Amino acid sequence: MKVSEFIKKLIKDYFVIFGVVVFVVTALNSESGFSLNIKDLYTVMIGALAGDLTSFILYSPNEMSGKETRVRICIHFITLEVILLLLAHILGIAGEYIQLAKFAIEIAVIYLVIRFLSWQVYKKDAKEINVKLENIKKLTSHSDK
């Protein structure tokens, strides 16, 4: 993937992350009368940016092996956890150890869900590509006869 394509993907991902966080926070707290203030929005913006920028760990201009991809995913996850936990602590979102532990678990669960959904999408795409390749193979084998 070209760097320009990767940066376009990062920009798109940033707005998706930001939007999802705002939506989830609003939806989960709508009945309690909670509303996001401007400081909260800035906090979400910073968190989304910090989380999105860690995706550079996953970037490679060349095709990666399965093992290299898994290693980078592990490094990405650990880096993401550390950065978001430090950010939460610095911004006062999670100051106590129990709050940091809960936040770490939330990050891990969200990360696993996103990885699983991404895997499902890639699996579906690969299946569609294989079906198309099979059809092309059948067409070329019939035309050879």
Look at 17-21, 70-74, 83-87 and tell me which has the smallest mean pLDDT: 17-21
Q: Which residues of 79-106 are buried (b: 16+ CB within 10 A; e: fewer)?
A: bbbebbbebbbeeebbeeeeebeebbee
* Spatial CA neighbour of 6 closest among 55, 66, 48: 55
- Please report which confidence band the pLDDT of residue 144 belongs to, taking 50, 70 and 90 as the band edges: low
pLDDT tens digit string along 58-68? 888 888 898 99
pLDDT above 70 for 143: no
Angle at 19 between CA 117 and CA 25, to 5 degrees: 95
Does the pTM exceed 0.85?
Answer: no
**Highest mean pLDDT: which range of 2-16, 27-41, 62-76:** 62-76
Domain boundaries, the chain: 3-144
